[in-house]
Amino acid sequence: MEIELDIRKSVNENAAEYYERAKAMRKKAAGARKAADETRKEMRKAGKEIEKEIEGEKTEKPKLRERRERQWFEKFKWFVSSDGLLCIAGRDAKQNETVVSHYLEENDLFFHADIHGAPATVLKNGKNTPEKTLTEVAQFAASHSSAWKAGAATVDVYAVEKGQVSKHASGGYVGKGAFMISGERKWFRNTPLGLSISRNADGSVSHSPGKGIRVVPGSEEKGKLAKKLAHLLGADVNEVLLALPSGDSSIADEKKVK
């Protein structure tokens, strides 16, 4: 090891200078070690924070889609007329019984298509209702009947009051989902089949007279058409399926909705 000495200084002065240099270097080395220790601490702290974030991401439960709260009438076929009146219809024989026994009241009207395989349809507060709503309900009842699946263009529909609907016939009790009608009926002859499918503000889908996309009996399978309508309406496909009649359908004027 070579040591440079200043010949102008004494041995003690040179030694003192080297001592001061060594002391300064030790001080710098201690500062460097301290800085390195601080850096390592910060790195370990940062590493733990990252680990916590990663662990949190692993354990965080996926967010579930918020389910819409359904109204009581949505278990049935339903729509709201242009005059703001609610109409419900059974989806099967059991629901037909429920619609009549639990929801048909004195101020309501009962509608039924004049064909085997048609739902019990009830217009709430239907007495003294404008003809426009009566026609809309007749078309709704017709469209959810077996006439749709048969590909028919029209079918006759009638309406009666609650007191004219009974489960009892002269020969005994009628079958499940069927009813005896007495007295004079109000007829809606040659009612055309067709529904206007629309997405409502709450996300539900229903027939909405004068709005939405018009659907008629056709050649497209129900599930396939439901997917197409869901895309066009920005709606849930399951909501669309609940609103469509049984059987194949077509969009009335597909060019207008593309």
Give pLDDT tens digits for 218-234: 999 999 999 999 999 99
φ/ψ (deg, to 5) at 41: -60, -45
**What's the pLDDT score for residue 62?**
43
- Asked whether residue 17 is domain-assigned, the answer is yes
Q: Provide mean pLDDT across the span 51-77.
A: 68
**What's the pLDDT score for residue 64?**
45
- Specify whether 115 is located in the same domain as 189: yes
- Specify whether 172 is located in the same domain as 239: no
- Among 176, 193, 210, give the residue marking a domain's end: 193
- Asked if 251 and 227 touch (Cβ cutoff 8 Å), the reply is no
Q: Structural domain of residue 80, as residue ranges?
A: 71-193
**What's the pLDDT score for residue 167?**
85
- Asked if 181 and 160 touch (Cβ cutoff 8 Å), the reply is yes
> Which of 88, 114, 121, 84 is CA-nearest to residue 209?
84
Residues 138-157: pLDDT tens digits? Answer: 999 999 999 999 999 999 99
Dihedral sign computed on CA atoms, order 125, 129, 135, 136: negative
Looking from the CA of 246 toward its CB, the CA atoms found within 13 Å total 14
Q: Provide mean pLDDT across the span 155-166.
A: 97
- Specify whether 90 is located in the same domain as 134: yes
**What's the pLDDT score for residue 68?**
81
